[in-house]
Amino acid sequence: MITLAILASANGTNAQAIIEAVRDGSLDARVALVFTNREDAGVIARARKYGIPVEVIPSKGHKDRAEYDALVVETLRRYDVDTVALAGWMRILSEVFVSAFEGRILNLHPALLPSFKGATAISDAYGHGVRITGCSVHLVTPELDAGPVIIQAAVPVNGTIDELEAQIHRMEHRIFPQALQWFAEGRIDVDGHKVIVAPARHKVKKIDYMEGCLVSPALETKV
């Protein structure tokens, strides 16, 4: 089991998906706290609804990113956190943060990395006219959106940008808890830049296609 901190800057639907996966037994984790850098973030109410501790430290007013990240790391240490989930964390991490939890930070990105990095990935992909985009969960390294990819969902670009965004978010809610569960089970290994997910130790049903989207590696449900 992992002791998890969820970092989110906005509405918090992915944080809620993680919390619900813990509650229904599909994710072997304890959510120690939800941390946000915005006092008006929707994730605060979502976390409190489930009785999850919330810590808020506004990111404005600090001299640099490293100074702020040192405060975040100090807060997470107080909760004995060993794994960090970035679920819509709208800040670039400094070396201070990455080194504190090296190899134990997972980030969710709304595109098929390494394409369309950065905060405007969905609109960039849509504006570029791609036929397929999606979402990725990757291990965090000092370089932005460049860490080894654990799992991806490929989403066809159909309809409006709002419809695309909604479909990407639905797939995010499925792949992030799955990646965290593989991490909790100790099944993730990194060979160079490639992530290898070890076979399940128990019988599982694999789902590699859902809602018109391809998921790789396949999602797993216990049998």
Q: Distance between CA atoms of 200 and 185, rounded to whole angstroms?
A: 9
Which is catalytic among the residues 62, 109, 169, 202?
A: 109
Letter for the amino acid at 52?
I
Phi, psi of 22 (to 5 degrees): -65, -45
Q: Distance between CA atoms of 43 and 3, rounded to whole angstroms?
A: 19
109 noted as active-site residue: yes
| Contacts of residue 106, Cβ cutoff 8 Å, sequence gap at least 6 | 83, 84, 85, 86, 137, 138, 139, 140, 150, 176, 179, 180, 183
DSSP-derived 3-state class of residue 219:
strand
Residue 207: C-alpha distances to residues 59, 104, 149, 204 (Å): 39, 26, 19, 10
Q: Distance between CA atoms of 118 and 122, rounded to whole angstroms?
A: 10
**Catalytically active residues, by annotation:** 109
